[in-house]
Amino acid sequence: MIDENIVKKIQTLRLNITDFEVIKPLAQGAIGKVSLVRGKYDKKYYALKALSKQELLSQRETAFFMEERNAMSKLRTSKYTTSLYAAFQDRENLYLLMEYAPGGSLQRMLEAEGALTIDEAKFYMAEVLLALEELHNLNFIHRDVKPGNILIYLNGHAKLVDFGSCISVGEDQLVSSNVPVGTPDYISPEVLRANEGTVKYGKECDWWSYGISLYELLLLEPPFYSDSLLETYSQIMDHKNTFGWPDDCTLDDVTKDLITHLICDREVRLGKNGAAEIKKHKFFEGVDFENIFNMKPPFMPKLNNPEDTTYFLTEEDD
C-alpha cells in the first residue's frame, strides 16, 4: 500500500492553478483562454493557456491538446517558437504554462499601425520560416499559421505560437484527417477538402498559410476575405481564378512572385521540398538566416511595467 501522506505530499508539490495570480486575460478561444499570470513564488510573468476538459471532449479535440504539448516540448530550445514551461491539470481544465510575449501579435500591429513595409515583413516572416522549418523537421504540421499567431517578444523578435491545431505526420509524411482545421481565411485547399475523407496532405499546407499571411502583412487583408464564410471557401477552392492583386497594389515583382508560388496548388507549391526552397527565393536575398536572431528588429515593445498589455486587445479594452 502507498502511504496516503506521501501521496498528499506529492500533490502539494505538483504545480497547480493556485500557484499563480491571474493578472488579466489576453485572448479568448472557443475552448479556452490565455491569461497573463504571475507566479506566486518566483514572481515571474507567464502566459497561461487554460483549456476546458468538457469542451475538449465535446469537440473531440483532446488529441490536439496532446499534439500541442508534444510539439511544444520538442521545440523547447527553439528561438522562434514560444517556450512551454509546464503542463498540468485540475478537475475542470488542462493548462499550458508558456513564455509571455508582451509585444502582442502581428495582427494587432496591422490593426494599430497599418500595413508593414517589405523590409519589416521580410524580417518577421524570415523568423516564422525558421520556426516552421524546425517544426517540420520534427514531423509536425502547424495548420494555423496567421498574423494572429505570430507574437512579438520583449526583444522585438517574432515567434510562432498556438500549436492547438498541430498534428504529426505519418511515415508517408502525410496527414489523413476528415476534419478541416485552421482559420478560414488561411486554410489551404487540400485541408478544406479533408472532409471528403480520402484526401491526404502534408507540410506544404503550412506554406499556403504562410503565403496568405505575407500577403496580408503587406496589403492589410487576406486575398480570399469575404463577409460570407461559404464565399471565402469557394474562392479558396477556385484560387486559380479568384486570386489576384488589389488595383492599387504597388508590390514589386519579386514579392509577388514569392506569394504566387505559395498560394497555388500543393503539387507545385514552393516549400513542398522543404523550407530551403523558400530561403533561396530572391525575396529573401541578403537575409542572414543563421544570425537573424542577433539582428536589430524593426520594432521594440515599449512597456510601462511588466503587467502592461498595451499591445493586446484585452476585455478591459472592449
- Burial of 281: CB neighbours in 10 Å, binned 0-12, 13-18, 19+: middle
- Mark whether 144 is an active-site residue: yes
Give 34's strand partners. 27, 49
* Those residues with Cβ within 8 angstroms of residue 309's Cβ, 6 or more apart along the chain or in another chain: 24, 26, 36, 102
Q: CA–CA separation, 276 vs 212, rounded Å?
A: 19
- Burial of 276: CB neighbours in 10 Å, binned 0-12, 13-18, 19+: exposed
Residue 61, C-alpha cell as written in the block: 479535440
Q: Are 87 and 94 in contact (CB under 8 A)?
A: yes
Q: Are 166 and 142 in contact (CB under 8 A)?
A: yes
Total residues belonging to the chain? 318
Q: CA–CA separation, 82 vs 105, rounded Å?
A: 13
Characterize 175-196 residue by residue with b for buried, 16 or more Cβ atoms within 10 angstroms of its Cβ, and e for exposed: bebeebbbbbbbbbbbbbbbee
Q: Which of 144, 162, 185, 206 is catalytic?
A: 144
Q: CA–CA separation, 63 vs 214, rounded Å?
A: 30
Residues annotated as part of the active site: 144
